[in-house]
Amino acid sequence: MKIATWNVNSLKVRLPQVLDWLERTQADALCLQETKLTDERFPVEPLAQAGYQAAFAGQPTYNGVAILTRSASVGAPADVQVGNPLYPDEQKRLISATVAGVRLVCAYVPNGQSVDSDKYRYKLDWIDALLRWLEPQTTDGSIPLALLGDFNIAPEDRDVHDPKSWEGQVLFSEPERERFRALQRLGLVDAFRLFEQSEKSYTWWDYRQMAFRRNMGLRIDHILVTPSLRDRVTACTIDREMRKREQPSDHAPVVVEIS
DNA sequence: ATGGCCCGTAGAACGGGA
């Protein structure tokens, strides 16, 4: 089974690329962030023609998340839940569903803007609430769970093209990295780091300064798995191909293979 | 030293992203 996450930065603009990508990869599930679509405008029909069903939660202009599933292999998303009951939030940043016996939690963690911003405080509070909500779902006896999405956190120096210049900045500040470690203390494992990876592996590159060509990026999109799922993970990769396209998202998909 | 690009909502610039 192949499961992926991708911040598409507008599903309206990126729909042709999403359809291409699904056709090419035959992914069984794809978590999307930054759809930037109201639910009335979600492209249910084009996705259905491509063989995918969807659970989605959107709003005008900002945010928006979705979980796509391949009908022929895993059917429709089940037990869909929007948001975190412990943290009422008008912003559509969280959606969960069960797919082939795996609980998928699709998250678009707030960006935070800058460490002295109100949005930064919101980001930390949002993650603290996520931790409280996930804790009972990651204990022994819970069904296998994967937390996938745009975390807007680069966990370690090796996840940042220039750690010195990023030190203390939003996306790489110590309080944010500490919260990533708190997720790991729940037992969640960074699937990407289960395998040997090439140096300077990133998932996001600024649109400016030819950052992608110069590989000036950050690894901020992640797939974390509970221990029972960890034993079934056979690969985890970043798909850089879509970032090379015309009119790309600034994020690349991250893909995990599960036996 | 600063901003450089892209997207949505506009219906011109601006907020937001990261």
A159 is an active site residue? no
Question: Per-residue pLDDT tens for A114-173?
Answer: 999 999 999 999 999 999 999 999 997 889 999 999 999 999 999 999 999 999 999 999
Determine whether A116 is exposed, middle or buried from the number of CB atoms within 10 Å of its CB (0-12, 13-18, 19+): exposed
Residues 45-84 of A with CB under 7 A from strand B: 60-62
Does nucleic acid strand B have an atom less than 7 angstroms from the CB of A113?
A: yes
Q: What is the pLDDT of residues A227-237, one digit of tens each?
A: 999 999 999 99
Q: By mean pLDDT, which of A137-141, A184-188, A203-207 is the weakest?
A: A137-141
DSSP string, A159-192: GBS-HHHHTTSTTS-HHHHHHHHHHHHTT-EEGG
Model-wide pTM > 0.85: yes
